[in-house]
Structure formats: C-alpha cells, structure tokens
Amino acid sequence: MKRRDFVKKATLTSLTAVIGAEIVYGSKLLEGYIPLALQDPDPFKMFNKHPEMVVLNDKPWNIEAQAHLLDDKITPNAKMFIRNNGHVPEGIDAASWTLTIDGESVTREKTYTLSELKSKFEQHTYQLALECGGNGRSEFDPPAKGNQWTVGAVHCASWTGVRLRDVLEDAGIKSNAVYIGYHAVDKHLSGDPKKEPISRGCPMAKALQDETLLAFKMNGEDIPLVHGYPLRLVAGGWPASVSGKWVNRISIRDKVHDGTKMTGTAYRVPCEPVAPGEKVKDEDMCIIESMPVKSLITYPKTGAMISKNKALKIRGHAWAGELEVAKMEYSIDFGSTWTECAVEKPANRLAWQHFSAEVKFPKKGYYEVWARATDSRGTSQPMLLPGWNPKGYLNNACHRIAVKVK
C-alpha cells in the first residue's frame, strides 16, 4: 500500500502514534483528510540524503550538494544531487519491468525484461561523472530562469549495467539511424498521462560508446528510486538530462529526437556568442553535447581558518566532458599567478579526476584559493563567468574558497 493511501485509511489512534502527539479535536477530522504534519515529507529522510544538502524545489524535487559534501572519490547516494522534471514514480515492480526498443530506425521492435537484460548481455561497471547542464546557473546576470544551482549539481558514482550498444544491436539498427530518444514512467506535474516530463536523447555515436549504460546498480547496490530504480540510462560527460531515469522505452530515430525538452531552448545554448540579456531565436540555439572542463575544491570548506606559517592541504575533483583533464592549478592572488596541483588519471574514461596540493600563504590575512582545470585540448576554465546564455547553462568558472590566515 502506498504511504498516502495508508495515511488516508489510518485510524485516529495510528495517526496519533505517527505524529507523536494527541490530535486534539481529532474526532472532527474529515474522512480521508491528511493532517499537515504528515503532508510535508522530509526530503532528507525520504531520499536518504545528507542533512546539509540544499533543497531548491519540491515540485518537482531538485536538491543539490554543497562543495564540501562532494569530497568522496566515489559519490555516495546521500550526497548525490537530485534533478527531477516530474513526479517520482510509485509502485515500481522490478520483477515485471520491461524495456522496449522501437523507433523508425529499429530493424524489429523488441521488448526485454529486466532479468533478460541482466542475463543475456555482459555487465560492465564504470565511474561516470554526471553534471546538470544548469549547474552554476545562480551566477548568471541577468538571471536565467530555472533552478538556481550553485556548484553542487554534479556527482561521480560507480554504475553497473549493460551497454546500450549491445541491446540496440541485438534489436537491430538500420543504416538511417541518427539519434536515440528515451521514454520513462515518471509522471508529468500536471497529472496528464499524455504528457512526458522529459524525453531526451543523444546521437548514435554517443549511444554506441562503451561507457553508455543501461544501469541497474549504483555503487554496487540497486539504484535508489529517486535516481532511476530499477533501470536508467547513464551517459557520462554530457548533460545529466541525457541520462534518463526510470527508462522503459528507447526509440532509435531517423532524425534528431524531438521529445520533451529536446526542442526550443531546452538544454541548448546560442550557436554564436550573444550579449547578456539578448533574445535568441530557437533556430540559433545548439544542443549541448560534451560538457566543458571544470573543477571543484571539496576540502577544506570555504571559510577555513589556519595559523600563520602552516600549509593548507586542498583537494577536489576535475572533469572535462568527453576529454581528460591534463592539468590542475591553484591561485591565491586572484588569478595573477598559478601553481600546479597533483592530478590523478581517471579511473576510466568519463570519470572525474582527483587533485591535491599544499598551499602556502606569505602572511596573515584574507585569501581566496581558486582552482583551474585545463583539458587535453588545452582549454582552461575561465576565471570568472563565461559567456551569458538565456537558460544559464555551462557555467564552468573557476571554483574558489575563502581562507583566513590568523
């Protein structure tokens, strides 16, 4: 029985027990009425999230981490951001779950059970960095509409599943295939069953990469419901919106997928630079593919205080979409000079990379430690906000923390 149905049918005695106090005038409750104390779910308990996570929206749920929460090399569920477009589905039965491959460019429509996917195809595990395309949106001026993410809409978990390529090839890919589009069981906020909250996809080249998975495990366990249980798409290095959750159908298309949030300005940026606030025609917007080079200082937390003549150990992660991070640097003089950090190779392609350094300060006072990553093609993060765009996507400005030497 669903929680809400249970509460509706509960007796006055059981409601009192759940709330932990007598419901004064409880005898006057209207039939089926849910007391307010039970209407407001605690997202941290509901999703098993760390209490320092930040809720940006609850209709739908959108929750981000703070930088210092992302210090783990492999992000645990408790510290993973949530980006939803519709209602989290309820009543999922993994035993009866199916995935259908269809579309104009499939040789034959084919449906697989979850157990068939697990037994028929080889399983693979990869660490894959996923970042919301709007991560950092809060810094844009003029402001961009949407959830005002700061820096915490990114994570890198370990995903286990089967390669999407193997499943698509088993169904049969026609020579005119251009794109894939995913479909899922989450419900539109309006409640209209004919509307999809989101249905995005990617070109065939991305769909057929080794690391693009139909995943059913995260960090060695079943994927948590809010992150896509029992089956989701994971395509590292591209906007996380490409990695659809609760996937039950994938279409092989003979054109660029035109599902919800694939058209208009959704997950698109101007093809050419524009002035802040300038209006851009839909046809002049290009779909975001590989995410830009970026980094995050995860230790220490901003506001750190250290004693004079002591070095400060810093660490964090860096990622570069489809590319590798070739160099990491830090600056304590607002970008005038830079010192190289140690940076590790990725665990596998499309995983984030870990960096560290010992920072020394010349005297007591206030400092900012800035981090800058450079990718394998020589592109570095901008020190401050990059080019403005209408939806506030792709902010990869240098992350910085405040430090006081006393």
Percent of the chain, pLDDT > 70?
93
The whole-number pLDDT of residue 31 equals 74
> Which residue matches tokens 């984030």?
352
For residue 35, give the nearest of 46, 45, 47, 20 by alpha carbon: 20
Q: Among 6-15, 21-30, 327-336, name the most confident range.
A: 327-336
User: What are the residue boundaries of the structural domains of the chain, listed by start?
Assistant: 1-40, 94-287, 294-405
- Supply the DSSP symbol for 196: -
The whole-number pLDDT of residue 12 equals 64
The beta-carbon contacts of 204-208 under 8 Å, at least 24 apart in sequence, are 204/173, 204/177, 204/178, 204/179, 204/180, 204/252, 206/235, 206/238, 206/242, 206/289, 207/164, 207/165, 207/168, 207/179, 207/180, 207/235, 208/164, 208/165, 208/168
Residues 250-260 have a mean pLDDT of 98
The answer to whether the beta carbons of residues 361 and 305 sit under 8 Å apart is no
CA–CA separation, 81 and 239 (whole Å): 13
The two three-digit tokens of residue 163, written as one number? 């390669």
Residues 22-29 have a mean pLDDT of 76
Residues 189-215 have a mean pLDDT of 97
For residue 236, give the nearest of 346, 162, 156, 316 by alpha carbon: 156
406 pLDDT above the threshold of 70: yes
Average pLDDT, the chain: 93
The phi and psi torsions of 169 (rounded to 5 degrees) equal -70, -30
Would you place residue 42 in the very low, low, confident or very high pLDDT band (cuts 50, 70, 90)?
confident
Would you place residue 6 in the very low, low, confident or very high pLDDT band (cuts 50, 70, 90)?
very low
Domains 94-287 and 294-405 share a fold: no
Q: Is 322 helix (H, G, I), strand (E, B) or coil?
A: coil
Cα dihedral 168, 173, 176, 181, rounded to 10, equals -20
The whole-number pLDDT of residue 291 equals 98
**DSSP per residue, 25-62:** TGGGPPTTPPPHHHHS--HHHHTT--TT-EEEEETTEE
Would you place residue 41 in the very low, low, confident or very high pLDDT band (cuts 50, 70, 90)?
low
387 pLDDT above the threshold of 90: no
The whole-number pLDDT of residue 24 equals 73
Neighbours of 159 (CB within 10 A): 26
For residue 247, give the nearest of 261, 230, 266 by alpha carbon: 230
CATH number for the segment(s) 94-287:
3.90.420.10
Residues making up the chain, counted from first to last = 406
Query: What is the CA angle 167-168-174, rounded to 5?
Result: 155
CATH of 294-405, one of 3.40.50.300, 2.60.40.650, 3.90.79.10, 3.40.50.2300: 2.60.40.650
CA–CA separation, 218 and 119 (whole Å): 18
Backbone conformation region of residue 392, classed left if phi is above 0, alpha if psi is from -120 to 50, else beta? left
The two three-digit tokens of residue 66, written as one number? 């703070």
Would you place residue 43 in the very low, low, confident or very high pLDDT band (cuts 50, 70, 90)?
confident
